[in-house]
Amino acid sequence: MEKSTPIGLVAGFVLIFGTIFIGDGAMTFFDPKSLAIVWGGTVAGLLVTFTVDEVKGSIAMLKDFFKFEAPDYPALASQIGDLARTARRDGPLALDQRLHEAEDPALRSALEMVVDGASPERAEESLDTQSMEMTRPMVLLVKLLNKAGMYAPAFGMVGTLIGLIQMLQNLSDPSAIGPAMAVAMITTFWGALLANLIFLPMAGKVQGQVQAMMKAHDMVRVGALGILTGEAPNVIDQQLRLYVSGEDVTDPAPLRKVA
């Protein structure tokens, strides 16, 4: 379970709205018309940018996002090394009986290619295609979140312009100017907040998940091509160890699923 996203979101909102509720007039910030312009404008912009299926797919993807667990690179490396030793000892076809062990879909698919006796060139091409297709929905989600992070402040500005234009046409009551400007600025506030606390940071996190998956795919490729070209298992081990040496700063916890 991805924990830093809910922590960051809760901390950010508590901080911002804590500050707001300490001051006066906190409820103004929840002006329904302002929220409608920013959220509605952003959703409208996204619908023009993406197809209905892409939007639906990305929303479904969000569930996976919170359940995403970074690949356990050391476990993956030792599993691949073990499979390479089996292939060396009993021939590539022996891997057929160990397919079920590979929980990771990228690894299983690569093993099937090995069992089928694909040529190394074709296997490499197929693994590239597979990696691209497996990450495609996540790459789409990154794109959608980045666009949302662009439209939210834009419609925040549109809302503020509407409020200012309406206010400026009717300056007869000076005491109404301040509150009217306050309301006008609320859309800009929400646009900036949604973009910088939700949309852009989450785009960054999904991008990081894509990169984690691609690192695992790289390891799978090294293993599959090594077996197909008859590389010695300990050479494959050495190559895989390069991916997990160092303090492995970013991913120490033992995790399971790769993709």
> Using CA atoms, how far apart are residues 153 and 41, in angstroms rounded to an integer?
10
Query: Is 78 one of the binding residues for its own copies (CB under 8 A)?
Result: no
Segment contacting its own copies by CB under 8 A, of 75-83, 85-93, 95-103, 168-176: 168-176
Q: Which is nearer to its own copies, 88 or 201 (CB)?
A: 201
> Using CA atoms, how far apart are residues 94 and 88, in angstroms rounded to an integer?
9
Query: Is 134 one of the binding residues for its own copies (CB under 8 A)?
Result: yes
The answer to whether the beta carbons of residues 115 and 216 sit under 8 Å apart is no
Which DSSP helix (H) or strand (E) runs through 111? helix 105-115
> Using CA atoms, how far apart are residues 219 and 233, in angstroms rounded to an integer?
14
Residue 249 φ then ψ, to 5°: -50, -45
Among the listed residues 30, 96, 165, 256, the single contact to its own copies using CB under 8 A: 165
Query: Is 118 one of the binding residues for its own copies (CB under 8 A)?
Result: yes
Query: Is 251 one of the binding residues for its own copies (CB under 8 A)?
Result: yes
Q: How far is the CB of 66 from its own copies (least distance, A)?
A: 12
Among the listed residues 130, 148, 216, 228, the single contact to its own copies using CB under 8 A: 130
Query: Is 62 one of the binding residues for its own copies (CB under 8 A)?
Result: no
Q: How far is the CB of 104 from its own copies (least distance, A)?
A: 14
Query: Is 198 one of the binding residues for its own copies (CB under 8 A)?
Result: yes
Our CA dihedral for 51, 56, 58, 63, rounded to 10 degrees, sits at 180
Q: How far is the CB of 94 from its own copies (least distance, A)?
A: 21
Query: Is 50 one of the binding residues for its own copies (CB under 8 A)?
Result: yes
Angle, vertex CA 130, rays to CA 54 and CA 145, nearest 5: 30
In the block, tokens 């050495």 appear at 238
If you ran DSSP here, which 8-state letter would residue 197 be given? I
Q: Which is nearer to its own copies, 61 or 94 (CB)?
A: 61
The answer to whether the beta carbons of residues 194 and 50 sit under 8 Å apart is no
Among the listed residues 63, 89, 169, 254, the single contact to its own copies using CB under 8 A: 169
Q: How far is the CB of 227 from its own copies (least distance, A)?
A: 14
